[in-house]
A and B are shown apart, each in its own frame.
Chain A
Amino acid sequence: MSIGKRNNVRASGSGPATLLFAHGFGCDQNMWRRLAPAYATRFRTVLFDLVGSGQSDLFAYDRDKYGTLHGYADDVIEIVQEFAEGPVVFVGHSVSAMIGLLAHLKAPDRFAAQIMVGPSPCYINDGDYFGGFERKDIEGLLETMEANYLGWSSNMAPAIMGAPEQPELSHELTNSFCRTDPEIAKHFARVTFLSDHRAELPKLQAPSLILQCSDDIIAPRAVGEYMHAVMPGSTLAVIENVGHCPHLSAPSASADAIDTFLAAHGF
């Protein structure tokens, strides 16, 4: 199995650097559809699906390898080696921000900067640290997922609703987006929401952008501020957005913040 197939890698454009986009927990690389295409005119852009998500090869899902975010980080390094040109700016949403951080620390020569969209190093409250959730909340998420995966073969499909208004969405896309094997999804949820990478944050010396939404329950502002305080080369940009996916719901504000960051670091 090639890396390109395993991770459903899509590369396009060319330029002095590569922007590598990594989606977060829940959906797949389609999450970048309102943000990534514009960058393909100036940079090489590489999009991919984490193993277990989207159109990745589900047979490659090994519960031991992907039992921590390190397994995903190793995949990222392999993708960089095969598909990137020039310095790499990693753009990671949500859990992928931590995957990018781990990959960066493992292979510091291969990455120039990290752009973290709605990142959180630890979702669970711990003493003075406010992550936003308690352990039981994560169990609640797993229950909700389980309830919705009972009919997972049909419930995420838009059926006839909605799609006519957005003819650019192919049938294939609407049926596969946001869906995967229920057991993998639950395992990934556990690995994501029980991960704790606070200790790695101060180790990142390269420039990083923390793209923080003003109203996001998954990555609350306190988390973005915490990260900014402990990461030496970090910039904190807060954008007005409700929810956890500013690249979808506030793409132009997201792009502005990213452009400013890229320009400040000579890209």
Chain B
Amino acid sequence: MSPPAVPADVQAALDQVACGLLRLDTYGTILRANATACDWLGYARAELQGRKLQDLMTIGGRIFHQTHLAPLLQIQGSLSEVKLELVRRNGEVIPVVMNARRRENGGSPCDEVALFIARDRDKYERELLLARRRLEDAVAQERDRALLAEQMVGIVSHDLRNPLQTIQMGAVVLTRGNPSPEQLGVLGRITRAGERARRLIADLLDFTQARLGRGISVHPVPIALHSVVAEVVDELGQAYPARRLVHEPSGQGECLADADRVAQLVTNLVGNAIAYGDPGSAVTIRTAIAPQGSSLSVHNEGQPIPPELQASLFEPLVRGTKAGSGNRSVGLGLFIVREIARAHGGRVDVESTAASGTTFTVTLPRPDQ
């Protein structure tokens, strides 16, 4: 095989050009190679000519060549920026980027190939891949860890309920047994602390239920919203005798909701209002029944919630600005409020300004929506 002569100065320029140049027949046989290609591949020109380019590829590269590159060249007549590994004569593997273009060459088509060594790009890309894999592993590990933690919280909360119930029952029995005023005071504190612990455990169980994918369960039935809330407000008034709670109902009729969950909503929102609001002013609870849907809101005066906190307020474990009076614990209350509202097909919104105080409003859609 003797390729037509190339003028000496052109040949010299081609040989010295800063990329490897190969001309192949359509089967991949190397017809010509410039000096750079020979140098990079470690072969003498005569050794390279007559060899197939694919024979210089790694085995994986050969499969890729046969299944992707050869058909592409055949059909679209060109390839660009394909990355391959070529094996040098001494066995060393070098990463290259390859462009190829098919053209007519005096009646028989041939492929003009340009090769560029890509060691740095290869290193960089390997690091990228490694970083991506590490990241994927870290995310997966973190997800497992979070899941385990949530499962643990669920299990522990569940198991805490039984001993707590024994303590609360014990306090009830002792209260009936004619205790001294001093003992009665202690029993009262035991009962209130037990009640707080019970609510916290209920919150934790709801939290894990919501987080582990099943969502908070609700069983909505037609309820008289005003009287359900009035009763809860009354109980809360006894629990917080130092604070003034005002209930303002409006509209008439029933709404579709889960009464226990509504009580939980009111308890959480009023608890927050008492913990974070101005101790000298009233907490107002409004319930409204209207044809377009029902709503329930809790308002307090005092320092507003900073705007940057409002966006994340309903996420679990986010607390208000000051750490309250100690009876709010891990910041699950508003998360659970949101989950209960969502489980009803409703929503919760907050408005908080220095002038008008803070209002949390839960809207429940009309039963037919």
Contacts and interface: CB of A to CB of B under 8 A. Distances in A.
B129 A161 contact: no
A138 B72 CA distance: 21
A162 B81 contact: no
Interface stretch (A42-50, A64-72, A242-250): A242-250
A1 interface: no
A248 B67 contact: no
Interface string B65-83: 0111011101111111111
A217 interface: yes
Nearest to B25: A242
Interface in A133-168: 133, 137-148, 150-151, 154-159, 161-163, 165-166
Contacts of A243: 27-28, 66, 70
A242 B60 contact: no
Contacts of B77: 158, 161-163, 165-166
A61 interface: no
A217 B71 contact: no
Contact of A144 (B60, B72, B75, B103): B60
6 contacts: A27-B67, A137-B63, A144-B60, A159-B80, A163-B77, A169-B75
Contacts of B71: 26-27, 31, 178, 245, 248
Contacts of A145: 64
A163 B80 CA distance: 12
Nearest to A244: B66
Contacts of A144: 58, 60-61, 63-64, 83-85
Given A26-B68, A148-B83, A178-B68, A248 B74 contact: yes
Interface residues of A, number: 48
Given A150-B125, A218-B63, A245 B74 contact: yes
A31 B290 CA distance: 66
A52 interface: no
A133 B63 CA distance: 10
Contacts of A26: 67-68, 71
B26 interface: yes
Contacts of A148: 64, 82-83
Query: 8 closest Cβ contacts across the A-B interface?
Result: A140-B60, A162-B78, A26-B67, A162-B77, A141-B60, A161-B78, A242-B27, A137-B59
Interface string B125-139: 100110000000000
A159 B99 CA distance: 11
B101 interface: yes
Given A133-B59, A138-B60, A143-B60, 5 more contacts: A139-B60, A147-B125, A148-B82, A162-B102, A242-B27
A25 interface: yes
A106 interface: no
A170 B81 CA distance: 21
Interface string A62-84: 00000000000000000000000
A39 interface: no
Contact of B60 (A137, A150, A161): A137
A203 to B, nearest CB: 27
B62 interface: yes
A158 B80 contact: yes
A166 B63 contact: no
A249 B66 CA distance: 12
B134 to A, nearest CB: 15
Given A144-B85, A148-B83, A243-B70, A158 B78 contact: yes
A145 B62 CA distance: 11
A157 B79 CA distance: 8
A199 to B, nearest CB: 24
Which of B59, B63, B129 has most chain A Cβ within 10 Å? B63
B76 A142 contact: no
A169 B74 CA distance: 12
A33 B84 contact: no
Contacts of A159: 78, 80
Which of B27, B59, B125, B129 has most chain A Cβ within 10 Å? B59
A174 interface: yes
A142 B52 CA distance: 22
Contacts of A177: 72, 75-76
Given A150-B125, A245-B71, A166 B76 contact: yes
B85 to A, nearest CB: 7
A245 B68 contact: no
A59 B78 CA distance: 30
B78 A156 contact: no
Contacts of B129: 146, 150
A100 interface: no
A131 interface: no
Contacts of B61: 140-141, 144
A161 B77 CA distance: 8
Nearest to B68: A26
A104 B83 CA distance: 39
A141 B64 contact: yes
Given A140-B61, A147-B125, A150-B125, A158 B74 contact: no
Given A133-B59, A138-B60, A218 B66 contact: yes
